[in-house]
Structure 1
Amino acid sequence: MSAALALLQQRHSVPSRQLGEPAPDEATVQALLEAAIRVPDHGKLVPFRLIRLDGEAKLRFGEQLAELAIRNSPELSEAKQEKERLRYTFAPLVLVVVARIDDASKVPAIEQTLCAGNVAYNILLGAYALGLGAQWLTGWAAYDREVASMLGLAAHEHVIGFVHLGTPQMDVPDRDRPALADLLSTWAP
């Protein structure tokens, strides 16, 4: 079996709370992202971009999310407020993968969105190949227009996910996977 296929068969996410220092160095991050953006892109639209959250920016982002969550739900418990505040602080680097949809293009919006999703998945694959841990998360913040505005997104942009990157702080067992036989059928005319 090829090393690439073995990588695909072993890849799994590491929960963001289990990711810590050391962060990948800048050369590794650049190489990872250069590889991650090599995705199928019908029409060569490049319907994606990336935003880095690291250092103090992660903490400030979490604080602003907590403020927004409290404004939207004043009854939010103290524990949930704290969860919002700290959500982005565990992994040393968080990458926001953004879809940029061109509604004027002949390429359907779903294909553009899937292209951006492939960038997020390539980050996961690349991180695993490099011995890093990663987790792709969304949550309410990925779908909230006020959060999009906070991130500087334009009206035609939306968050695909927040990819948390770092060094696994513990061994994480793989989860149960579906049986291929339950998912694969053969079409016959």
Structure 2
Amino acid sequence: MPAPNQAALDFLLTRRSRPAKTLTAPAPSRDELMPLLEAAARTPDHGKLEPWRFIVLEKAALTRLAGLVGPRAEALGIPEDKVAKAHSQFADADLAVAVISAPVDSEKVPQIEQVYSAGAACLALLNAALAAGWGANWLSGWPSHDRTFVTEALGLAEHESVAGFIHIGTETCAPPERPRPDLDAKTSWVAD
């Protein structure tokens, strides 16, 4: 019988993202953020390919990104409600980490599995922040999928994309529990 880490299991069974709009300063300092990034970097990465990287966006950088949202949205004809939501995602934040999917050439590991690894890094960073007592949320939105925006705003290479923006800060209120999936409806058992 394996020896359980009950505290870790209890955390995973009760973890809950905190809405980014409820996060405020202070955000983690660089020293406080480093162990969270270390935890995220322990995600499965298919033979040390490390097909992801992190861009830490502090307040001034987030303000700059917020300023890029409007002109890009106008060029794309994005509806005003989506523009406001994308703008506030950056303007109202104190710290976010852009997790960048950065697949590498590999004969053994398909690109899609490398993209999954970047997603796993997002979840690992989110969980590490929550476990450390911070409020955290994983966001994306149309700017993260717009090639021009991510190139201009973040300097991404052509083969890179945003897996997610992990917002981290001080939680102002705990969100209520929400309905969870019906595991009987989502689980199949194959015995033979």
TM-score (norm 2): 0.90
Equivalent residue, structure 2, for 1:127: 129
Change in Cα spacing, 1:42 to 1:80, as seen in structure 2 (3 Å) is: closer
State percent identity of aligned pairs.
40
Partner of 1:136: 138
Deviation (angstroms), 1:69: 0.4
- Partners of 1:132 and 1:168 within 8 A in 2: yes
Shift of 1:81: 4.0
The answer to whether structure 1 residue 18 and structure 2 residue 22 are counterparts is yes
Give 2:189's aligned residue: 186
Stretches of structure 2 lacking an aligned partner (at least 5 in a row): none
Q: Is 1:120–1:161's contact at 8 Å kept on the other side of the alignment?
A: yes
Correspondence 1:163-178 to 2 at 5 A: 163-178=166-181
* Deviation by residue 1:30-51 (Cα, 9 ceiling, x = unmatched): 1111111101111211100011
Match of 2:60 in 1: 56
SS in 1 for 2:157: coil
Off by >3 Å, runs of 4+ in structure 1:
79-84
C-alpha deviation, 1:102, in angstroms:
2.1
1:44-94 per-residue CA deviation (whole Å, 9 max, x = no partner) reads 1110001111111101101102210012117x43x5544333221333211
Distance 1:46 1:179 in 2: 34
TM-score, length-scaled by structure 1: 0.92
Out of 7, 17, 20, the residue aligned to residue 3 of structure 1 is 7
> Of the candidates 88, 97, 114, which is equivalent to residue 86 of structure 1?
88
Partner-residue secondary structure (3-state), 2:175: coil
Taking the aligned partners of 1:185 and 1:81, their CA distance within structure 2 comes to 41
* Stretch deviating more after TM superposition (48-57 or 100-109): 100-109
What residue number does 1:32 align with? Answer: 36
Give unmatched runs, 5+ long, in structure 1. none
Match of 1:146 among 145, 148, 159: 148
Q: How far did 1:12 drift? A: 0.9
Q: Is the 8 A contact 2:96 2:168 kept in 1?
A: yes
User: Any idea what the Cα deviations from partners look like across 1:133-153, whole Å, max 9, x if unmatched?
Assistant: 111111111211102211111
Residues 1:68 and 2:72 are matched in the alignment? yes
Alpha-carbon spacing, 1:181–1:52, altered in 2? closer, same or farther (3 Å) = same
Q: 1:101–1:109: 8 Å Cα contact kept in structure 2?
A: yes
The aligned amino acid for 2:150 is: A
CA distance in 1, matches of 2:108, 2:38: 27
Q: Is the Cα contact below 8 Å between 1:65 and 1:85 reproduced in 2?
A: yes
